[in-house]
């Protein structure tokens, strides 16, 4: 299988859209991502079937993955699902897996940006996960080879939160007084990629909380717009001193061990 050949330094260049022009894109009903696999200089697409021999693990589970459903197909070699992220594989296959012959997106998010253009922007916002700095990678939060690309999607929200709490153990709990919001997931309050707001919050002021607490007040004390003005607590005055969580009140937005109003 392995033909011995000597390749001159194969530089891997990202973002080549030209090669992709050769491919038939059988699924064009996508609107958020463009289709442009990373470019491997001089290489041709060989198709997923060529990867089986050496990477059975990845190939075996791939059918269940979000990206397999893109059903990218090349007229002559068939399904090229693996190469959509790893770049054309002919040189890699012929060399029996020599170093530097294929793209590994773990080492750089560029392979993902090739299609998810807008994500580069999100990771350039003032407050982001340090993905561009190489300290966190897309695959820390996304499954690429099997199942739903967004970890925990479709399953219990706890499992999506686990993606976050494996690094952020302080927010894991359990807390004596859980904040009900945690059931909606970390993304109820945080933009996981990045945000203009500090701590990657989806809103920088009381609106963060009022998105849920604007509902009718309940026996358990959900506040609403009226409640902000009319509960025994003078919310309006307090809000002049800061946000719900920084004005000396609800300083434990993730849950508290001391107080049932998410206070420390
Ligand atoms: C959505 C993009 C994407 C697709 C499609 C994809 N991969 Fe990957 N692949 C990645 C990323 C990201 C990594 C790095 C994962 C990590 O380090 O956890 C990776 C890593 C690998 C590795 C290195 C594993 C290791 O342990 O170092 C192999 C081998 C691999 N992929 C093969 C495949 C094969 C074969 C297919 C098709 C069946 C495929 N990939 C499809 C994104 C993708
Ligand atoms: C003849 C065997 C062989 C075939 C066929 C093969 N690979 Fe590999 N691949 C390897 C070897 C060997 C490595 C190096 C493993 C290591 O470094 O531990 C590797 C590594 C990789 C890596 C990780 C590279 C890195 O820099 O971390 C990726 C991604 C990958 N292969 C994808 C593919 C894809 C996609 C295909 C199909 C187009 C494919 N391979 C076909 C043998 C093969
Ligand atoms: C060849 C183009 C291509 C590449 C490369 C690519 N993606 Fe995708 N990805 C898509 C398309 C198309 C979709 C489905 C359309 C959509 O929802 O935007 C998708 C879907 C996703 C989703 C799920 C979206 C949802 O709503 O369920 C995630 C997460 C994702 N990609 C992450 C990645 C990561 C991480 C990488 C790099 C390892 C990557 N993608 C590389 C094209 C690509
Ligand atoms: C810190 C964890 C984390 C990192 C790192 C991360 N993501 Fe995500 N990503 C998420 C979560 C969580 C969601 C689901 C968001 C939701 O449900 O609102 C998501 C959603 C997505 C989606 C689909 C929805 C959308 O926003 O378009 C795509 C595509 C995506 N991510 C791509 C990427 C790419 C590409 C990278 C790397 C450059 C990356 N992500 C890095 C956590 C992360
Ligand atoms: C692989 C580990 C890892 C994972 C997984 C992860 N994070 Fe992070 N997170 C980090 C790192 C590293 C930072 C940057 C810390 C710093 O700059 O001091 C960070 C920063 C943050 C911050 C800002 C903290 C601050 O003090 O400004 C928030 C909020 C956050 N992450 C939420 C999340 C959420 C929500 C998820 C799940 C969608 C998640 N993280 C998944 C590693 C991770
Ligand atoms: C109800 C909204 C809400 C939810 C849900 C939420 N957070 Fe937060 N988070 C906040 C607020 C508000 C801050 C800012 C606290 C501050 O500045 O003192 C914050 C701050 C953080 C920080 C920075 C550290 C700190 O204490 O300042 C991290 C890390 C973090 N959150 C992770 C997570 C993780 C992981 C999850 C899911 C398990 C999550 N958050 C769910 C509202 C929320
Ligand atoms: C995703 C929706 C959501 C968001 C966003 C949210 N909460 Fe909550 N909050 C809840 C739920 C659900 C409960 C539980 C209510 C119940 O038990 O009836 C709750 C309960 C509370 C309680 C306890 C009320 C009581 O006495 O039972 C306080 C205080 C509170 N939240 C404050 C906040 C603050 C401050 C913020 C912003 C940092 C916030 N919440 C953001 C959903 C949310």
Q: What is the pLDDT of residues 57-89, one digit of tens each?
A: 999 999 999 998 875 667 788 888 999 999 999
Grouping H, G, I as helix, E, B as strand and the rest as coil, residue 236 is helix
How far is CA 18 from its chain centroid?
27
In a domain, 121, yes or no: no
**Pocket lining for ligand 7, CB < 6 angstroms:** 179-181, 184, 188-189, 208-209, 211-213, 218, 220-222, 244-245, 250, 253, 260-262
In a domain, 161, yes or no: yes
| CA–centroid distance, residue 101 to ligand 6 (Å) | 41
8-state DSSP, 24: E
The predicted-structure confidence for 104-127, as pLDDT tens digits, reads as follows: 998 889 999 988 999 999 999 999
In a domain, 138, yes or no: no
pTM attached to this predicted model: 0.90
Does 111 share its domain with 162? no
Number of domains in the chain: 2
The rounded distance, in Å, linking the Cα atoms of 71 and 76 is: 14
CA torsion through residues 168, 169, 175, 178, sign: positive
Does 173 share its domain with 252? yes
Q: Whose CA is nearest to atom 41 of ligand 4?
A: 138
In a domain, 135, yes or no: no
Pocket test for ligand 6, best of 193, 253, 261 (most atoms within 8 A of CB): 253
Does 92 share its domain with 172? no
* Domain housing 238: 157-256
In a domain, 145, yes or no: no
Q: Whose CA is nearest to atom 5 of ligand 7?
A: 209
| CA–centroid distance, residue 237 to ligand 4 (Å) | 38
The predicted-structure confidence for 145-196, as pLDDT tens digits, reads as follows: 998 898 877 666 667 889 999 999 999 989 999 998 998 899 999 999 999 9
The rounded distance, in Å, linking the Cα atoms of 102 and 118 is: 24
Cβ of 130 less than 6 Å from ligand 5: yes
| CA–centroid distance, residue 253 to ligand 6 (Å) | 7
Of the listed ligands, the closest to the CA of 133 is 5
Domain boundary residue, one of 115, 139, 172? 115
Does 173 share its domain with 107? no
Cβ of 195 less than 6 Å from ligand 6: no
Rg for the chain (alpha carbons), in Å? Answer: 24
Does 166 share its domain with 111? no
Q: What pLDDT does residue 29 have?
A: 35
């Amino acid at each position: 299988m392995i033909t011995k050949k000597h390749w001159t330094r194969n530089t891997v260049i990202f973002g080549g859209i030209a090669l992709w022009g050769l491919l038939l894109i059988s699924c064009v009903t996508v609107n958020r991502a463009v289709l442009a696999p990373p470019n491997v200089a001089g290489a041709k697409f060989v198709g997923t079937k060529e990867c089986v021999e050496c990477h059975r693990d990845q190939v075996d589970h791939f059918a269940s993955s979000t990206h397999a459903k893109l059903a990218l197909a090349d007229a002559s070699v068939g399904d090229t699902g693996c190469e959509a992220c790893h770049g054309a594989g002919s040189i890699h296959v012929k060399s029996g897996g020599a170093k530097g012959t294929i793209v590994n997106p773990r080492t750089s998010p560029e392979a993902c940006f090739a299609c998810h253009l807008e994500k580069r922007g999100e990771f350039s916002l003032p407050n982001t996960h340090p993905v561009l700095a190489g300290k966190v990678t897309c695959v820390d939060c996304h499954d690429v080879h099997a199942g739903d690309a967004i970890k925990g999607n479709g399953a219990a929200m706890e499992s999506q939160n686990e993606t976050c709490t494996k690094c952020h153990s302080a927010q894991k709990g359990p807390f004596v007084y859980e904040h009900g919001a945690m059931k909606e997931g970390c993304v109820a309050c945080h933009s996981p990629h990045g945000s203009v707001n500090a701590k990657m919050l989806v809103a920088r002021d009381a609106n963060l909380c009022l998105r849920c607490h604007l509902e009718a007040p309940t026996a358990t004390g959900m506040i609403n717009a009226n409640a902000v003005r009319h509960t025994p607590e003078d919310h309006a005055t307090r809000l002049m001193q800061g946000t719900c969580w920084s004005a000396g009140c609800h300083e434990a937005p993730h849950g508290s061990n001391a107080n049932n109003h998410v206070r420390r």
